[in-house]
Amino acid sequence: MINLLFFGRLGDFAKDVPSTIEASTPAEIRELLAVEFPDLGKALHQPQVLVSVNKMIVDWDQPLFDGSEVAFLPPVTGG
Amino acid sequence: MSTELNHEQFMRYSRHLLMDDIGELGQQKLSEARVLIVGLGGLGCPVALYLAAAGVGQLTLCDPDRVELSNLQRQILYRESDCDEYKVVCAERELRALNPHIRVNSYADEISDVLMDGYDIVVDCTDNLAARQLMNARCVADKIGFVSASALGWEGQLIAFDFAAHANLCLNCIVDKDSPEPMQNCSNSGVVGPVLGAMGSLQATTVMRMLLGFFQQHGEMQRYDGKAGRWLALAASARRDCAVCGEVA
């Protein structure tokens, strides 16, 4: 199982999302979640959303392994 | 600023001088430093105030905007009577009043390559990716420090690079320069003032750490969720095909 973390305002879209999921890449997680949680899916498809696996920023096609923690981070651009 | 501290400066910086890992030698390093602050908004205000107070010897400010009433909720260098004045003019006046021993220069202009000559560290306090990428590329080329932060709503982000010590892993490795800008920004989605203060303070601390030789987290990203009250530190890796710092660049 893959452990999920939605950082910042992405957490507002993910209140009903289970804390774990079965998937092989972050991109697959995004597609699976978009089916059941379309608002979250839309938020995850914004430009500059980052994904990390075990606290390392990775590409969306990074292979996942059992027990991985996947965190999704919304873009933060203001100053 | 002279190379030796006078009596007034001993008193002014006494809380630094009491610290073994800053002391007189560290204060001299700060006084010899040249730092460019790009963006004098919610991040740039605390960055400039803390670095001026700390005795960073040369601060250069760059921002084309004028003070607006809607800035005053978070941009702590300005007062209501400053509205319609250039931010850099108001900021320079306040910083000189705070610490007349440092040099403060300013440009009421957009950041551009010609304004980036001769600095030890560039501090990105802007609100758009194009400016960030311009600064990132120049800092990579010049092998100097780059301290970038941003904020939106309750959230903040900081990422810093010491290109004097590391040739690879830059902002473009993490966020591609051709990425579109996100739809949400402070103007249309809002931002909490103290979150900007927290991130700006962290930028100023990071600048001091770099100048004093303590900085070790090249390319590490710090994320702050002010609503949940939690921090997250994330590592990143260099892209071999990065157009800015990669093997083909």
Which of B 147-166 lie inside 8 A of A, CB atoms?
Answer: 149-157
Q: Is the pLDDT of residue B248 over 70?
A: no
Residue A17 near residue A41, CB atoms below 8 Å: no
Q: What is the mean pLDDT of residues A20-39?
A: 97
- The complex's ipTM works out to 0.92
Residue B207 near residue B35, CB atoms below 8 Å: yes
Determine, for residues B127 and A74 on separate chains, whether the beta-carbon distance falls below 8 Å: no
Q: What structural domains does chain A harbor?
A: 18-73 (3.10.20.30)
Q: Is the pLDDT of residue B225 over 70?
A: yes
Q: B123, B218, B232, B240: which to substitute to probe chain A, counting the most A Cβ within 10 Å? A: B232
How much is the pTM? 0.95
Q: Looking at beta carbons, which residues of chain B come within 8 Å of A53?
A: none
Q: What is the CATH number of domain B33-234?
A: 3.40.50.720
**What per-residue confidence (pLDDT) applies to B249?**
59
Which of A 12-31 lie inside 8 A of B, CB atoms?
Answer: none
The partner residues of B224 in beta bridges, in order of sequence, read: B156, B231
**What per-residue confidence (pLDDT) applies to B1?**
46
**What per-residue confidence (pLDDT) applies to B150?**
97
User: Per residue in B78-88, pLDDT tens?
Assistant: 999 999 999 99
Q: Is the pLDDT of residue B186 over 80?
A: no
CA distance A34 to A41: 4
Domain regions of chain B by residue span: 1-27, 33-234
Q: What is the mean pLDDT of residues B61-87?
A: 98
